[in-house]
Structure 1
Amino acid sequence: MLFQVGGQGTRPTFFEMAAAQQLPSSLRAALTYSIGVLALRRPFFHKVLDYEDEFFALLMLVLEAHSLQTTDASFSETLYGLRRRTVQIRVKKDRPRLTSNETIHHSGLEKHQRVLSVVFLVVLPYFKSKLHSVYNKEREARLQASLWGPGDDRFDDVDYFDGGEGSLASSGSLNAETSVGTRLTKKIQKVIAACYPWVHATSEGLSFTYQLLYLLDATGFYSLGLHVLGIHVCRATGQELMDTSSRISKIRSRERERLRGPPWLKALQGALLSCSYAVLDYAQTGLIAAVFIFKMMEWWYQSAEERMSAPTVYPPPPPPPAPKVAKEGIPLPADRTVCPLCSQKRANPSVVTISGFVFCYACIFKYINQYKRCPVTLMPATVDQIRRLFHDV
């Protein structure tokens, strides 16, 4: 059951239905991201982002209405070769319940089913998105009020100089100027903030329940909307695809015959119809291909920019040569653990940073404090350039 991906029978697999349902949200995310990138160079696209819900709802309204009218399927279902069919169960009179011997007959969609399908596919998701945004704003306002207090109680510069009387007068004037519409809007927002979590949880629970039942072959409806409309989603056959193309050509020929007016007006209307038909016919593949090409180009240029902006890794420079022993300096002993100054084993070993040679701390401190130089290289040094070593070398 879980691995029915071969496309056998007319019933789509769970994976096909899940992919068709998730395609609009994925397409919206890709379009929003693409417009956001374009808005970095063209500020005009920021207006599109300000009305993101309305823009995407209008786009999907055109695509879904055209797809349901011509193919009896939604925009995403046509990409997977699926079709919507009205469920008509044939039951014998003496057997009221449907058994395994009865069959379910599917027929084309009716006009009201197409309209309601658009409502379930476009209108309801739009209102759900708006409710979600209102809920998020109200939740942020409550969080901000819990941290900083309500907006009416916030202090400003006038409150400090008025000694409290001005604050009371200003709050009274603000309450007087508050309109009834604003108060009603705030109440509606509070009601939405209180009810939306329950509505969202109920919607997600019903959606999960129908998907689980569909996966277990307990129902033929993938969602509550399909069950309410009495619609099954089936795989399209080759004959159905041919019938769809012939039906589209007949519809368009009838629309061209309805054109009225002088010849130049008919030619103009015919050109507009041809352009609209071409846009609608190639909107599915064109939209998916455009998003894919944009993401591929973005990945290409982003990887090129990363290569150009990445710092060049050079090999580490060779260590500097060891300082030379001066002719008039103190010679180094053969044993490296012996102090060159006292010729005894080093006690509290300390290094002179300008030369790197190690001595006893008391010996080198007295020598540098008196002669202001390294005893081996005779390079100028101060007592501040002596460093204590915690591991003798």
Structure 2
Amino acid sequence: MLFQVGGQGSRPTFFEMAAAQQLPASLRAALTYSIGVLALRRPFLHKVLDYEDEFFALLMLVLQTHSLRTTDASFAETLYGLRRRAVKIKMTKNRPGMELTDRVQHSGLQKHQKVLSVAFMVVLPYFKSKLHSIYKREREATLQASLWGPGDIRFDDVDPLDNGEASVDSMGVLTAETSSWERIRKRTKAIIGAFYPWLHATNEGLAFAYQLLYLLDATGFYSLDLHALGIHVCRATGQEIMDNSSKISNMRSRERERLRGPPWLKALQSMLLSCMYTSLDYAQTGLIAAVFFFKMMEWWYQSAEERMSAPTVYPPPPPPPPPKVAEGGIPLPPDRTICPLCSQKRVNPSVAAVSGFVFCYTCIFRYVTQYKRCPVTLMPTTADQIRKLFHDL
């Protein structure tokens, strides 16, 4: 059940159905983000963002209608090689005395099923998005009113001598009489704010129940809308894809034959139809490819800007040359473990910080205390510049 990813059988896997269902939401998020980035350079694109629900619904209406009309599948289902089939359950009896069994037969979609499919895939999500935005604003207003009081009342404009009976002028605030339309609008928002959470929870619960049953092979319907329409989603075979190509060609040929008018008008109409057909044919893959290309270019330029804005890291400077033995200084012994002052093996090794040469702590401390210099380089040194070593080479 969980490993039917190889494409065996006509029944799609749960992962294919989930991917096809989530593609429109992912596509909308990518388009919204892309237009938001472009709006930083082209401010007129903010108009599109202000009406993103309407623009996306119109886009999906065109794509879903064209896809259902030509392939009997939604925009996302076509990309995954899926097709919608009308379900007909027929009662059959295999042998005499045997029980009746259900036999599922698939057929092409009828016109009303295509229209209702577009309504379920475009119209209902649009109204759901609008209800969600209204509920969100109503909730924010309720929260603000509970914290700060009603937002439309200004305490500095209220006259305490009026006892709340005087009307407020147009500069400000509340009027004594509210229009009936305003009351209806506020009441509608209050009703949406009260009932939307229950509707949303019911919708999500039913969706989860259908997906769980589909995953457990208990039903052939992935969602409630497919069950209400009596539609199964099946994998498309190679023969169906070939037949679909010829079907589209015949359909377009008939549409060109129905053109009427002078030759120049028919040529113009034919050219417009060809442009429309080409745009619709490549809209599915082209739209997703354009979003992917835009995101890739954004990542590319963003990484380049980060590299340009990042502080320049320079290589570390080379170490200074080692100090040399002065002419009047004590010569260094050939063995590096011998103290230059006592010519014995170093005990409690310590280094003179100004020169880096190592001595016995007692020897270097006495010498520096007496002469105030390094015994090898004759550089000025104090007792505070002597450092003990915990490891001696």
Q: CA deviation at 1:280?
A: 0.4
1:165 and 2:162 matched: yes
1:213 CA drift (Å):
0.3
Give 2:129's aligned residue.
Answer: 129
TM norm structure 2: 0.77
Q: CA RMSD in A?
A: 3.2
Deviations 1:254-297 (A, max 9, x none): 11111111111111111111110000000001001101100110
Q: Secondary structure at the match of 1:153?
A: coil
Deviation of 1:216 (Å):
0.3
Residue in structure 2 matched with residue 272 of structure 1 by the alignment? 272
Amino acid at match of 1:285: T
Offset, 1:313: 2.9
Structure-1 residue corresponding to 2:243:
243
- Compare 168-177 and 235-244 and name the one that shifted more: 168-177
> Number of residues paired by the alignment?
334
In structure 2, do the counterparts of structure 1 residues 61 and 97 end up closer, same or farther at CA, with 3 Å as the change threshold? farther
Secondary structure at 1:69's aligned position in 2?
helix
Say which is worse superposed, 172-181 or 25-34, in terms of deviation: 172-181
Equivalence for 1:219: 219
Whether the aligned pair in 1 keeps the contact of 2:207 and 2:223 (CA below 8 Å) is yes
Decide which structure has greater helix share.
Answer: 1
CA displacement at 1:188 relative to structure 2:
0.3
CA distance in 2, matches of 1:251, 1:277: 11
Amino acid at match of 1:165: D
SS for the counterpart of 2:259 is: coil
Q: State how far apart, in whole Å, the 2-side matches of 1:89 and 1:137 are.
A: 46
Higher deviation after alignment, 235-244 or 212-221: 235-244
Contact 1:152 1:171 (C-alpha < 8 Å) held by counterparts:
no
Aligned to 1:118, the other structure's residue is in SS state: helix
SS in 2 for 1:169: coil
User: Which stretch of the first structure deviates more once superposed, 110-119 or 243-252?
Assistant: 243-252
Paired-residue identity, %: 76
Q: Which residue of 2 aligns with 1:83?
A: 83
Q: Matches of 1:128 and 1:42 in 2, distance apart?
A: 30
Q: Distance in 2 between matches of 1:25 and 1:337?
A: 79
- Alignment partner, residue 138 of structure 2: 138
Q: CA deviation at 1:147?
A: 1.5
**Deviation by residue 1:351-370 (Cα, 9 ceiling, x = unmatched):** xxxxxx999xxxxxxxxxxx
CA-CA distance at 1:189 after TM superposition = 0.5
Preserved CA contact (<8 Å) 1:57 1:123: yes
Q: Are 1:113 and 1:229, in contact at CA under 8 Å, matched by a contact in 2?
A: yes
Cα deviation for residue 334 of structure 1 reads 3.9
Q: Can you give the 5+ residue segments of structure 1 that lack an aligned partner in the other structure?
A: 324-332, 339-356, 360-393
* Alignment check: 8 A CA contact 1:86 1:108 kept: yes
Q: Which moved more, 1:258-267 or 1:224-233?
A: 258-267
**Structure 1 stretch 238-247 or stretch 131-140: which is displaced more?**
238-247
Q: Which residue of 2 aligns with 1:302?
A: 302
User: Separation in 1 of the partners of 2:301 and 2:68?
Assistant: 38
Relative to structure 1, is the Cα distance of residues 95 and 35 closer, same or farther in structure 2, using a 3 angstrom cutoff? farther
**Shift of the alpha carbon at 1:154?**
3.0
Worse-matched range after superposition: 170-179 or 109-118: 170-179
1:186 matches 2:173: no
Q: Find the residue that maps to 1:44 and give its secondary structure.
A: helix
Distance 1:288 1:195 in 2: 36
Deviations 1:93-148 (A, max 9, x none): 7999763xx53111000000000000111000110000000000000101111111
| Structure 2 equivalent of residue 206 of structure 1 | 206
Alignment-derived partner of residue 59 in structure 2: 59
* Matching residue's letter, 1:270: S
Q: Show the 5 A alignment for 1:1-393.
A: 1-92=1-92, 99=101, 102-156=102-156, 158-159=157-158, 162-165=159-162, 169-171=166-168, 174-314=174-314, 334=365
Which residue number in structure 1 is paired with residue 345 of structure 2? none
Q: TM-score, normalised by structure 1?
A: 0.77
CA distance in 1, matches of 2:192, 2:368: 81
